[in-house]
Amino acid sequence: MATHQPLLHLQPPKTSCSKTISTILCFAVVLCSAIFVTNKFIKLNPYENDLPFLHNICHKAYNPSSCIEMAASEFPLSIIKTTNEEHFLQSFLKKSMPKVINTIERAKDLRQRINSPRGEGALDDCIELMEISNGRIMDSVLALKNRTSGSIESSHTWLSSVLTNHVTCWDEVETSLSRAAAMDLGLEELIMRGRNSLGMLVSIWGLEIKNLGELGKRGNGYPSWLKKGDRRLLGVLGREMEPNIVVAKDGSGNFKTVQEAVESVPDKSKDRIVIYVKKGTYKENVEVGKKKKNVMIVGDGMDSTIITGSLNVVDGSTTFKSATVAAVGDGFIAQDIWFQNTAGPAKHQAVALRVGADQSVINRCRIDAYQDTLYTHSNRQFYRDSTITGTVDFIFGNAAVVLQNCKIEPRRPMNNQANMVTAQGRIDPNQNTGTSIQQCDIVASSDLEPVKKSIKTYLGRPWKEYSRTVVMQSRIGDLIQPAGWAEWSGDFALKTLYYGEYSNTGPGSDVSKRVKWAGYHVITSPSEAQKFTVNSLIQGGEWLGPSGASFIPGL
Task: Please write the tens of the pLDDT for every residue from 146-194.
Answer: 888 889 999 999 999 999 999 999 999 999 999 999 999 999 999 999 9
* Structural domain includes residue 40: no
Q: Are residues 166 and 261 in the same domain?
A: no
Q: Are residues 186 and 65 in the same domain?
A: yes
Q: Are residues 359 and 420 in the same domain?
A: no
pLDDT band at 232 (very low <50, low <70, confident <90, very high): confident
Query: Of the candidates 156, 176, 205, which is a domain's last residue?
Result: 205
Q: Are residues 77 and 109 in the same domain?
A: yes
Question: What confidence tens digit (pLDDT) does each residue in 82-102 have?
Answer: 888 999 999 999 999 999 999
Query: Of the candidates 153, 179, 205, which is a domain's last residue?
Result: 205
* CATH number of the domain encompassing residue 76: 1.20.140.40
- Coil, strand, or helix at residue 298? strand
Number of domains in the chain: 3
Q: Are residues 201 and 71 in the same domain?
A: yes
| Residue 393 annotated to the active site | yes
* pLDDT at residue 8 tops 80: no
Q: What is the pTM of this model?
A: 0.88
* pLDDT at residue 541 tops 80: no
C-alpha 530/C-alpha 537 separation (Å) is 9
Catalytic residue among 230, 336, 358, 393: 393
Q: What does each C-alpha distance from 493 to 84, 86, 361, 424, 537 come to in angstroms?
A: 36, 32, 30, 12, 22
Question: What confidence tens digit (pLDDT) does each residue in 250-270 have?
Answer: 999 999 999 999 999 999 999
* Structural domain includes residue 42: no
DSSP H helices, 206-286, are: 228-233, 258-263
Q: Are residues 418 and 364 in the same domain?
A: no
* pLDDT at residue 555 tops 90: no
C-alpha 207/C-alpha 61 separation (Å) is 11
pLDDT band at 78 (very low <50, low <70, confident <90, very high): confident
Q: Are residues 170 and 258 in the same domain?
A: no
Mean pLDDT of 413-428: 97
Helix (H) or strand (E) holding 119: helix 117-146
* Chain centre distance of CA 47: 34
In this predicted model, which residue has the larger pLDDT, 150 or 104?
104
* CATH number of the domain encompassing residue 490: 2.160.20.10
* Structural domain includes residue 12: no
Question: What confidence tens digit (pLDDT) does each residue in 110-129 have?
Answer: 999 999 999 999 999 999 99
Quick one: pLDDT at residue 400? 95
Q: Are residues 254 and 343 in the same domain?
A: yes
Quick one: pLDDT at residue 176? 95
Question: What confidence tens digit (pLDDT) does each residue in 41-57 have?
Answer: 333 344 444 578 899 99
Quick one: pLDDT at residue 23? 41
First-residue to last-residue Cα distance in the chain: 59
Q: Which residues contact 263 (CB under 8 A, 6 or more apart)?
A: none
Q: Are residues 151 and 108 in the same domain?
A: yes
* Structural domain includes residue 419: yes
Quick one: pLDDT at residue 383? 96
Mean pLDDT of 311-334: 97
* pLDDT at residue 401 tops 60: yes
| Residue 480 DSSP code | B
Q: Which residues contact 289 (CB under 8 A, 6 or more apart)?
A: 328, 329
Q: What is the mean pLDDT of the chain?
A: 87
* pLDDT at residue 64 tops 70: yes
Give strand ranges (E) for 278-370.
Answer: 280-283, 286-288, 295-298, 305-309, 325-327, 333-335, 338-341, 353-355, 360-363, 366-368
Quick one: pLDDT at residue 41? 31
Q: Are residues 262 and 345 in the same domain?
A: yes
Mean pLDDT of 297-319: 97
* pLDDT at residue 535 tops 90: no
In this predicted model, which residue has the larger pLDDT, 428 or 539?
428
C-alpha 378/C-alpha 328 separation (Å) is 9
* Chain centre distance of CA 177: 23
* pLDDT at residue 14 tops 60: no
Q: Are residues 408 and 509 in the same domain?
A: yes
Query: Of the candidates 181, 205, 229, which is a domain's last residue?
Result: 205
pLDDT band at 7 (very low <50, low <70, confident <90, very high): very low
Mean pLDDT of 494-523: 97
Mean pLDDT of 527-553: 67
* Structural domain includes residue 36: no
* Structural domain includes residue 9: no
Quick one: pLDDT at residue 274? 97
Q: Which domain holds residue 113?
A: 52-205
Question: What confidence tens digit (pLDDT) does each residue in 334-352 have?
Answer: 999 999 999 999 999 999 9
* Structural domain includes residue 406: yes
In this predicted model, which residue has the larger pLDDT, 210 or 171?
171
pLDDT band at 425 (very low <50, low <70, confident <90, very high): very high
Quick one: pLDDT at residue 30? 41
Residue 276's nearest CA partner among 241, 303, 251, 308 is 241
- Burial category of 358 from C-beta neighbours within 10 Å (exposed 0-12, middle 13-18, buried 19 and up): buried
* pLDDT at residue 227 tops 50: yes
Quick one: pLDDT at residue 528? 80
Q: Phi and psi dihedrals of 295, rounded to 5? A: -95, 135
* Structural domain includes residue 383: no
Q: What percent of the chain has pLDDT over 90?
A: 75
In this predicted model, which residue has the larger pLDDT, 468 or 150?
468
* pLDDT at residue 20 tops 70: no
Mean pLDDT of 469-490: 97
Q: Are residues 194 and 270 in the same domain?
A: no
Quick one: pLDDT at residue 213? 32
* pLDDT at residue 440 tops 70: yes
